[in-house]
Every structure is written in structure tokens, then in C-alpha cells.
Chain A
Amino acid sequence: MRTPLPTLDSPQGKIPSRSDYSAPDGYFEKLPQRMTARIEEDLASNHTEFSSYVGRWAVAASVLLVVGLAWLGTPRGGSSLVQGDPLLAQLTTDEIVQGLDLHGTHALWLQEAAAYPWTEEPAWIHPQDEPPLDSFLWDHSLVTVTDEGLIEL
């Protein structure tokens, strides 16, 4: 025989909630211990995660510190004159060039000089060492002696 169709306000009373939604055997007996075990596990893994997190930041901070100290200790830019003079060390290259201009030095020339530095210094860097002109011409084969004994450039 077919079960009569339910009505919400049937004279027999309300339709009860399903009672066969049962959990597997032993589920409720084990759940409290399972929960505490899971929480302890979570706490332990959170602690490990936190430690490795802190460790990573500590390593990164140390590396930054070392790099920062090395950067501060390394001489940077400028000529030896600038490095040797604390007052000039505070100035930028542009400020120095402008200052020289004010004292009649041609800034463009200084910039060109900076752009094309000497690769080979001449042997007679000091004027007193400069050889006499004729000796220089002979040494560098810039003059020849003709048949008449004349010297030609």
C-alpha cells in the first residue's frame, strides 16, 4: 500500500526530521579526540611555518645589512682630488664644473678631457724632461738627409 502523501499540518502532527541520517559507527565517540589531535597538528605546523617564515626574513635582512655596509664602505665615483677633499666630496660633478667656469676655466674643455682620457701618457710629462726639438725629429724619423746633405722635413 502506498504511503499517504504528506501534508505539513497533518492531524498526526508535523513530519519529523529524517532520523536515518546517521553518521558512521563510532563517529561521535572519536570526533573529540580527532579534533584535539588535528588542532595540535595545526598548531605545530603553524609554528614550523612561522619559524621558517621568520628564518627567511632573518636571512634576507642579514644579506641586506651586509650589502648595505659594503655599499657604505666602498669609495664611489669622482677623482682622487674629490675623494681626498671632504669639501669637494660633498659636491656633484656638475657643481664642480660650474665652479670652475666661474673661475674662468672652460667647462666644455674639462668635459671633453673627461670624455677622452689619456690612454698613453707621453714620456715627457714634465716640461723640464721635454727633449730638444731636433733630437725629437731624429728620434721619430721625421727628418731625412738628402744627397746634398740637406735636412728635409
Chain B
Amino acid sequence: MEGLGDQNPSDQKTAEREWERELLAEFAVPATRNRAFEKLVRRYQKPLYAHIRRMVLNHDDTDDLLQNTLIRCYNALDRFESRSGLYTWLYRIATNLCLTHLEQQRKRRWLSLSNDTVRMEAELRSATPVDRLQDPDVLLEKALLRLPPKQRLVFQMRYYDEVPYEQMSEILGTSTGALKASYHLAFKKVENYLKNL
């Protein structure tokens, strides 16, 4: 499982749902609960790590947030109602934790949004080798730091992961229309920034 964009074919989706059903059945039995949970972690840890890391940039915060995401999942998994896919649900938990974390960091340092961008840029520089600082992927990431966290998230999900708007709507709790508008605005802002470099 490397990205949500790979899930589109219906047979893949059916297989995913079947896997989820088996996992939930295994999780419901106390004797096999931990084994089922380890399976879940193995399956989703890499895409979740990438998603969180792109938002918070450094490994330590990513590790904390990923563990918290998985703990919350463990505590609520027996009440999971399968209205959405398991990965969508995990993605939503991780996203909410990331947004809360970023907001808390900003407030803890008494920073405005623009000053927080400066802090995040410094974070980005420290996480990037010097010879990579002018590479297109790093420049794009720098441009993304100028967006408010939620808009950045929308851009990343759509541009990098190609998450369908319907699924983004489930994850972010926002209408598809609003998400399309948000993505369009984000795209224009990033494009302008890159043009003026």
C-alpha cells in the first residue's frame, strides 16, 4: 500500500475491504488482538509516516504523532463501524493530530502564521542536505510552507497522493466543492511563488 491513488480499481477496493474484515475479526478476539494490530501497523505505517512527515517535517515529531495515531486506532478499533475504509479513518486521525500539533506549536511560541512559516522554513533547511536546497521537490516544499496548514494538507493530498475529492471530504470533513476551491487557490499561490523565485 503505497498511496491512496492506487486503490481506485474496484477489485483492489474489494480486496482491501476483505482484508479489513478479516483483520477486524482477528482483532475482536483477545488472544489474537495484538497480532492483528501488528499486521495493521505493518500495512499502514509507511504511508502514514510519509503523510505526517510532510506536514511536520522532522522525524521525532512524526514518530510521536504516528504512535499517537496508532494508539488511538487501537483504543477505538473494536468500535470501528466500517462506514469508511480503515486507511481513510487512520488518515483522518493522523491529519487531525497533525493539525492540532502544528497549531499548538505555533501558539506555544506565540507566533503569527507568517512567523510560523519562518520557523518551518528553518526546520526544512535543517532537514535538507545543502546540495539539495535548490532541487525542485525541495523548492516546492518550501512554497507549500507559505500556505495555511489545512490548505497545505489539501494540496499535498491531491497533488502528491492523488486522493479523490470524495475521500478527502471524508477525511477532512469538508465538502468536495470547498476542497476543489481550496486546491485551486493553493495551486495558484504555489505557482506564483515558484515563478517569482
Task: With A6-B194, A23-B49 as known contacts, state yes or no: A42 contacts B41, CB within 8 Å.
Answer: no
Q: How far is the CB of A34 from chain B (nearest CB, A)?
A: 8
B141 within 8 A of A: yes
Q: Mark B48-80, 1 if CB is under 8 A from A, else 0.
A: 011001100001001100110011001000000
Q: What B residues does A147 contact at CB under 8 A?
A: none
Q: What B residues does A20 contact at CB under 8 A?
A: 128-129, 132
Interface size grouping (class) on chain B: 35 or more
Q: How far is the CB of A98 from chain B (nearest CB, A)?
A: 65
A32 within 8 A of B: yes
Task: With A6-B139, A39-B71, A42-B71 as known contacts, state yes or no: A14 contacts B159, CB within 8 Å.
Answer: yes
Contact of A5 (CB < 8 Å), options: B49, B74, B187, B197 = B197
Tell me whether A32 and B71 are in contact (CB under 8 A): no
Tell me whether B137 and A32 are in contact (CB under 8 A): no
Q: What A residues does B134 contact at CB under 8 A?
A: 2-3
Contact of A32 (CB < 8 Å), options: B41, B159, B191 = B41
Task: With A15-B140, A39-B34 as known contacts, state yes or no: A8 contacts B45, CB within 8 Å.
Answer: no
Q: How far is the CB of B47 from chain A (nearest CB, A)?
A: 11
Q: What A residues does B141 contact at CB under 8 A?
A: 18
Tell me whether A8 and B132 are in contact (CB under 8 A): no
Tell me whether B59 and A24 are in contact (CB under 8 A): yes
The secondary-structure label for the interface of chain B is helix
The secondary-structure label for the interface of chain A is loop
Tell me whether B59 and A35 are in contact (CB under 8 A): no
Tell me whether B41 and A31 are in contact (CB under 8 A): yes
CB nearest neighbor in B for A12 = B136
A135 within 8 A of B: no
A128 within 8 A of B: no
Q: What A residues does B13 contact at CB under 8 A?
A: none
Total contacting residues, chain A, CB less than 8 A: 29
Contact of A8 (CB < 8 Å), options: B38, B46, B194 = B194
B37 within 8 A of A: yes
Complex Cα–Cα for A6 and B193 (A): 10
Task: With A18-B138, A32-B42, A33-B38 as known contacts, state yes or no: A7 contacts B191, CB within 8 Å.
Answer: yes
Complex Cα–Cα for A32 and B45 (A): 9
B190 within 8 A of A: yes
Tell me whether B53 and A21 are in contact (CB under 8 A): yes
Contact of A17 (CB < 8 Å), options: B71, B137, B187 = B137
Q: What A residues does B19 contact at CB under 8 A?
A: none
Tell me whether A15 and B136 are in contact (CB under 8 A): yes
Complex Cα–Cα for A34 and B77 (A): 18
Q: Mark B125-162, 1 if CB is under 8 A from A, else 0.
A: 00111001011111111000000000000001001100
Q: How far is the CB of B44 from chain A (nearest CB, A)?
A: 11
Q: Which residues of B contact A (CB under 8 A)?
A: 34, 37-38, 41-42, 45-46, 49-50, 53-54, 59, 62-63, 66-67, 70-71, 74, 127-129, 132, 134-141, 156, 159-160, 187, 190-191, 194-195, 197
